[in-house]
Structure 1
Amino acid sequence: MRTLQSLFVSFAVVLLMSSICFGSDLDLFSDQHGTLRIAGGTAHIPVMKEITKRIMTRYPDVRISVAGGGSGVGIQQVGEGMVEIGNAGRAATDDEIARFGLVPFKWAIDGVGAIVHPDNGVKALTRTQLQAVFSGTITNWQQLGGVDRTINLYTRDQASGTRKVFWSKALNKGDISMAANVVNSNGAMKTAIANDPYGIGYVSVGHMDASTAPITLDGVTPTLETVRNGSYGVARGLYSLTKGQPQGLTKAFIDYLFSGEGQQIAADKGFIPVR
């Protein structure tokens, strides 16, 4: 019995020493406290919330708020000092970087794809057909081999980085019909399409799940693998930006995004890590 107890004690000591020796990437926050404000791109939110939960669970003296609003909002708010980190699903322009003194950090790669309701019989389009749908030239699913129903278009607002990438790379900067319903986040888009059998919209590949069905574009379905290997070209970087070089709590958060744990969280949420 004494031998068994000794084994248990030895095992506990080994575990303790391992945790001391190897630690965790969360140790970046061991000497941090205060408040960190984050806002902007909605594709980023699942990663931001998971990281925030882990940090605040371990370090209750650190308070982090995460808000959406779109890439344009993220860039503007961090530039104007309203938040410490602004998220964007597009690269900041040279003018934005110069005007606000921004420093961008690209920590993942994401795709953007068109989606429909799972019961929709049309799940493959050519780029020309997709452009005609979003411009309002094609208005009925029957024109695409589907049922005789009006196509309900959904798009994002002008501040959205997801919209900019889809518009420039999937639609070749073609028109988006003024009749399209405007939603304000990837989550809202997914919910709208999941509840509209005749709707079509677009979301970050990282937000795709069984509640909607992806549209195969020119023979290639938007997935994590097709974005990674480059066969699906409607892709973009996910950025977190700071005003000047980050310091203190802000720097710890940026460093964690690029750590092993941070990059694994990005992968777990459906994005392609940069490291």
Structure 2
Amino acid sequence: MLATVVGCQPTPTAAPAETPTTSAPNPEPTSAGTGLSGQITEAGSTTVQPLAEKLAEAFSAQHPEVEITVQGGGSSVGVKSAAEGTVDVGAASREIKDSEMQEFPDLVVHTIARDGIAIVAHPDVAVDGLTKDEVKDIFAGEITNWSEVGGPDKPIVVVSREEGSGTRAAFEEMVMGKEGPPIVDTAILQPSNGAVRTTVATTPDSIGFLSFGYLDESVKALAIDGVEPTEANAASGDYPIVRPLNLLTKGEPSGVVKAWLDFILGDEGQQIVADEGYIPVK
């Protein structure tokens, strides 16, 4: 999905792109209206995308001559595009890998929020919670029937994100383990959090994982190790699956890009983060 925010106008959308193609310089502010004008391009994580769109809309409402284009593509796209300068800002919903920082030493990471990853099941699944080890075994294909975790005698349908997804990378690191087993190759792979939610909501006996920001009543969010997946539990550290949401720039930001990042990390931007169901960092 690509969204362009110009002033207070409605946000137009277009079909998702696998890789961003827009190339724009890091523009300097100019003297017009509020004193800021220019264009910002942002691409990457589909978890960060809807939050970035809200933040862009609020910023452009205050600075009508600033145009911000927000595009998806996945966290790996966000890292590469920011590092290569094909967009002004990249987005990644995971920790940046050591190998990426070595490959792209000019990359600067700006953590704007934290986000829980919820384990969700089809609403009719008669299981309300799992241990973290049970989740690992399900996604590894070691547990294949709901009866093995206190549910009915029904085969478990595993739904996962695709390779390159920041949500998947964070899930693999925190649940499967860095040296742990891979996600079972029979899993249904989906390209976004929204697609995972839709698939789990419409596929009986299924289980998946997605960002807290995508939780709604169409899926059942499961407690993990007895802890409900709530923003409060994630913020307190009680909920065990939490990751950072990062924006990325090639070098320290300047001009209108810096102004937007300052807005995001300021009081108003962090309130939007909270309002959208994520955990503020300030």
User: Secondary structure of the equivalent of 1:50?
Assistant: helix
Residues 1:141 and 2:107 aligned together: no
Q: 1:125 matched to which residue of 2?
A: 130
> What's the counterpart of residue 10 of structure 1?
none
**One-letter amino acid of the structure 2 residue matched with residue 148 of structure 1:** D
* Distance (Å, rounded) in 1 between the aligned partners of 2:85 and 2:62: 27
| Residue of 94, 97, 104 corresponding to 1:93 | 97
In structure 2, the partner of 1:24 is: none
**TM-score, length basis structure 2:** 0.82
Name the one with the larger helix percent: 1
**CA apart distance, 1:56:** 3.3
Aligned residue number for residue 160 of structure 2? 155
Is residue 208 of structure 2 the alignment partner of residue 188 of structure 1?
no
Counterpart position of 1:223: 230
How far does residue 147 in structure 1 lie from its aligned partner after superposition? Answer: 2.9
Map of 2:115 onto structure 1: 110
Partner of 2:5: none
Distance 1:115 1:80 in 2: 36
SS of alignment partner, residue 86 of structure 1:
strand
Counterpart of 1:241? 248
Distance apart, 1:140 and its partner CA: 2.0
User: What does residue 273 of structure 1 align with?
Assistant: 280
What does residue range 174-185 of structure 1 map to in structure 2 within 5 Å?
A: 174-185=181-192
Q: Which secondary structure state, in structure 2, belongs to the residue aligned with residue 113 of structure 1?
A: strand
**Distance across 1 between alignment mates of 2:89 and 2:81:** 9
How many residues in Structure 1 have an aligned counterpart in Structure 2?
A: 247
Deviations 1:11-54 (A, max 9, x none): xxxxxxxxxxxxxxxxxx93222221111111112221112222
**Retained in 1: the 8 A contact 2:120–2:219?**
yes
**Cα offsets for 1:98-117 (capped at 9, x unmatched):** 43211101111111121012
Q: RMSD value over aligned CA atoms?
A: 1.7
- Picking from 57, 60, 66, the partner of 1:62 is 66
Alignment correspondent of 1:259: 266
Per-residue deviation, 1:168: 1.6
Amino acid at match of 1:272: I
Q: Distance in 1 between matches of 2:53 and 2:118?
A: 23
The answer (yes or no) to whether the contact 1:113–1:166 under 8 Å persists in 2 is no
Compute the displacement of 1:248 (Å). 1.3
Amino acid of the residue matched to residue 79 of structure 2?
Answer: I
Once residues 36 and 187 of structure 2 are traced to their aligned partners in structure 1, the CA distance between those partners, rounded to angstroms, is 46
**2:81 paired residue among 47, 69, 77:** 77
Matched position secondary structure for 1:138? coil
SS of the aligned residue for 2:169 comes to helix
Checking the alignment, whether the CA contact within 8 Å between 2:43 and 2:89 is kept in structure 1 is yes
Aligned AA (1:93):
K
Q: Tell me the equivalent position of 2:34.
A: 30
Q: TM-score, normalised by structure 1?
A: 0.84
Aligned residue in 1 for 2:23: none
Amino acid corresponding to residue 168 of structure 2 in structure 1? R
The percent of aligned pairs where both chains have the same amino acid is 38
Amino acid at match of 2:100: E
Q: Is the 2:124–2:205 Cα contact (8 Å) retained in structure 1? A: no
Partners of 1:249 and 1:189 in 2: CA distance: 35
Displacement after TM superposition at 1:162 (Å): 1.1
Q: Specify the alignment match of 1:202 in structure 2.
A: 209
- Unaligned 5+ runs, structure 2: 1-32
Match of 1:48 in 2: 52
Of the two, which has the highest radius of gyration?
1
Q: Distance in 2 between matches of 1:174 and 1:38?
A: 33
Of 255-264 and 97-106, the range deviating more from structure 2: 97-106
Report the Cα distance in structure 1 between the residues aligned to 2:134 and 2:95, rounded to whole angstroms. 28
1:181, CA displacement in angstroms? 0.9
Alpha-carbon offset, residue 58 of structure 1: 4.4
- Unaligned stretches of 5+ in structure 1? 1-28
Alpha-carbon separation, structure 2, partners of 1:137 and 1:207: 27
Q: Structure 1 counterpart of 2:135, which letter?
A: L
Q: Within 2, Cα distance between the matches of 1:248 and 1:191?
A: 40
The answer on whether the counterparts of 1:127 and 1:171 sit within 8 Å (CA) in structure 2 is no
The answer on whether the counterparts of 1:97 and 1:103 sit within 8 Å (CA) in structure 2 is no
